[in-house]
A and B are shown apart, each in its own frame.
Chain A
Amino acid sequence: MRHSKILLSAASLAATLALAAAPAVAAPAPLSVQVSPPSAARVHHARAFLRLDLGRKKAWLGQAIPITISAQFRAVEGVTLEGLPQLKSERIFTSDIARDPRQSTQIVDGEPVLVATWTGTITPSTAGPLTLSVELPVRIRYHEAAPRSVVREPQQDPNQDEDPFQGMMNVDPFDPTSIQRMFQSMQRSLPMGFDEPLQGAAHDDALTLKANAHPLEIQALPVLGQPPTFNGAVGHFDLRASLSNDQGSANDPLTLTVTVKGDGDLDRVELAGVASSADFKAYPMSAKSEAVAPAKKLGQKTFEQVLIPTHGGALTIPAIELAVFDPISGHYTSVSTAPITVLVAGPAAPPAAASVPSASMQAPRARAAEDAPPSSLPAPPPSSLVDNPRTIALRLSPLLGLLLVAALARFGLRRDPEKALHRALRRSAKQGSASAFFEAARRLIVMHFSRRWGVAEGEITPDALRAQLGNQAEPLVQAFSTSDALRFGRRSVERVELRALCSSIEESLKHAA
């Protein structure tokens, strides 16, 4: 529970202490709480009472109704608030009451009274009669007035002025009663007795003040003429919209700020915001509540919405409308913002949106629009931001098959010795290695014709080749003879010559087949 203390000023304290000795409150007052009938709307206590003021007898459903709660204390030395005023009712309503009361000292019936005042609003949520009461827990400290030894003469002639210091001139040092006479003279003259505050028993009592208000008739809002967009805003409001930047860039977020000001329950004001369109991608509008003192009649509520321009150009943010019920006229109205034009840098809208193309042109453009990624896509799930190693392995797995095929191909080529000799022949011709070339050539020719003719390799000689092939055998015979010549070191062969001989040997082998 929140405790707050009301501090009395020196002047009010003096006044309060003086009041404690007044004949009207001289007798100890009981601290019981008396609840008066609702029509009275006021609960009295000898030193403290509470008052609840609504200021009207009828209101509309959803209308913000200003209320005033005032607690008055008199003839007390100190007051501690044990909590905030608690509004109570059997009907549903929402309330917003200032936490800190306004303190003042007022003169009520000629007496100084300390007054604490709370202001706020209540908003009824159901139609029908609304009975309202308020409770306030307080602790007050005061002194009871004791029977006075010296009492001012109420019958004294008010016209008779007495000098309070006159008695001082008549003090007789040998008369013991002269001092007492001087005090009596001063007490008669001064408006406040200076020996009274210290008299009587001190009290420190906790009590709960209560007050009832007049019953309030809550009227239901009319159904006739209610706009479809009406969402419960009752009062008088004004809408203003502004943009974070007058100029922007395509795909760069802009913040649209809409401020609702007015007299009414702002908690019931909701705005749908700008819908997504071809020009803007719109995010949901969010309300940014601002601290508004409940006592303040005019409140303010700010909404913000992130808009992302999808293309460049002069883009217009449409007006935002709010349907409102006017509690004074009893009719529905609407308030709206002014449209805002913003210059957006970036590529212009697709031509398809600007002009109507022919039928033959529409399909490719539509396809192009589908192919091009939009400027803003839904965010991916967080888990997909980093690829799983398994996914990588899966993407690389076809390579294993490829490597296997390559290895098999290599293996298959090596298994045929004649093809291997062909490769060796070409490689040695390319590298200019004559000895390797003629060794491979001799082995290739012998292997080839022994397989083809079905004879032993030893039977393949230059003479046998000439006999079987005639003139076609010349390159083959030359290979034999050059091989022999190289073997005994009688000549050298150039790379060009080897390449030519390689071609003619392979030609002869192919034609001989």
Chain B
Amino acid sequence: MTTDRIFPRLARYAALALALIALSCFGAFSVHTLRVEAAQARSLVAESQSALKNGDRAAAVLAAERARLLAPRADFVRSALDRAHVRAVDSPLDRAVTWLAPREWSFLLVSFGWAAGLGLAGAIALGKTSSSARRFAFAASALFALSAVGFVQSSHSSRSLAVVSSATGLLVAPYAGSGASADLATGVVVSVGARYGDFARVRAPEAARGWVSMNALESVIGS
């Protein structure tokens, strides 16, 4: 076998080995990140429990919701949410998307982005001779697009989450003198939509909608 045939093969094997090493490192990093996030979620759950014992329900719900953003599938987070009597305000699409944490969506997005990019680069470099590179690039691009949709939806629903920090009324119009269609107790989770001045249109549990003063809300991911 001549050297000009051995080298491409070696290069191919080297590329495969490098890809496997990169994948292993990426996997190890992912596992470590997930463990760190679970540990951070435990701190938030403890904060929630402490706040609940001190009678500060808004702070308890806020901490539990933040823990949910870090570890949405963890049992201890679900228990904390149950203890704080948090009622979900998510739509069915949100519930499907929030099965993964926002950070997990971004992690998938970057991973599939790199896979799609590498596949595309290979397809460009090799041209028509490498149909497998094209197929790989296509599959990775499709997953990249899916994860991009998931990331955008997850990010949007997380950013719109807020907790009622002081009991207020659910107003029918965005001004202080308007009538209230319902009362929002402290600690109720709402989804914030459009804003008008100091008021925000919110969706409360049981599909109740109305306007609430921004001063009575505290965003789950901060302002």
Contact = CB atoms under 8 A, between A and B. Distances in A.
Interface string A74-101: 0000000000000000000000000000
Contact of A375 (B42, B114, B222): B42
Interface in B141-163: 151, 154-155, 158-159
Interface in B95-128: 102-103, 106, 109-110, 113-114, 117-118, 120-122, 124-128
Contacts of B127: 410, 413, 423
B66 interface: yes
Interface string A403-415: 1011101100100
Contact of A306 (B49, B103, B124, B158): B49
Interface in B164-217: none
Contacts of A427: 128-129
Given A373-B35, A375-B42, A396-B110, A402 B117 contact: yes
A275 to B, nearest CB: 16
B159 A386 contact: yes
B46 A286 contact: no
Contact of A386 (B121, B129, B158): B158
Which of B35, B125, B159, B219 has its CB near the most chain A CB atoms (within 10 A)?
A: B125
A386 B102 contact: yes
A377 interface: yes
Contacts of B40: 377-380
Contacts, number: 120
Interface residues of A, number: 41
Interface in B50-80: 50, 53-54, 63, 66, 69-70, 76
Grouping DSSP codes into helix (H, G, I), strand (E, B) and loop, the B interface class, with mixed when no group exceeds half, is helix
Which of B42, B76, B102, B126 has its CB near the most chain A CB atoms (within 10 A)?
A: B42
Nearest to A389: B155
Contact of B129 (A286, A391, A402, A423): A423
Interface stretch (A249-257, A336-344, A447-455): A249-257
B84 interface: no
Contacts of B69: 385-386
Contact of B46 (A304, A376, A383, A413): A376
A308 interface: yes
B155 A286 contact: no
A172 to B, nearest CB: 80
9 contacts: A377-B42, A379-B66, A381-B222, A382-B221, A383-B221, A392-B113, A399-B121, A407-B125, A427-B129
